[in-house]
Structure 1
Amino acid sequence: AVSSEWTVERFIEWLQEKQDVQIKKPSLSAGGKNIYLQAPPQLEQATRPNLEKKLSELVSNGGDITVTATTLPFNLTLRVNYTSS
């Protein structure tokens, strides 16, 4: 579970801290929409403003986030459950 107060940037930091997944520079999407893309530079720049937004503004409780990264040999889908704190 993640806090409904977390920004997208905080969620990415949390993903990178998880030892069992070992994700470096993750890109995120949900419901066919890009939340944040690490590359190419034009898409990183276009999605950068989302880093400051609350994850809960972009993904509903129980929604799925797709995580992609060069260090992952597969796409990881995470179901988001928010806590109120």
Structure 2
Amino acid sequence: MNIVKRILNKIVNHKYKVMKEGTVKFFNSAKGFGFIKPKDSDEDVFVHQSGLIDEIRENDSVKFTVERGEKGMNAINVKLS
């Protein structure tokens, strides 16, 4: 991997490690998944129960980090604000 690719990977990975804030748009506790609406984006982020620190419900304010998954961005380390 060349130096440019390594630097770009570090920048992208750092960007997604920053704690973000948002609101739980939908969460189905029986199925264990839902979506968070980030404050800084129009694109909802998927959340799975395995990424939760606190129990969440619709309209809760949360903080979370984001990681790229196979199908898009996933919220992890999700906790109540």
TM-score relative to the length of structure 1: 0.31
- Which of 1 and 2 has higher RCO (CA within 8 Å, sep 6+)? 1
User: Which structure has more helix as a fraction of its residues?
Assistant: 1
The structure richer in strand per residue is 2
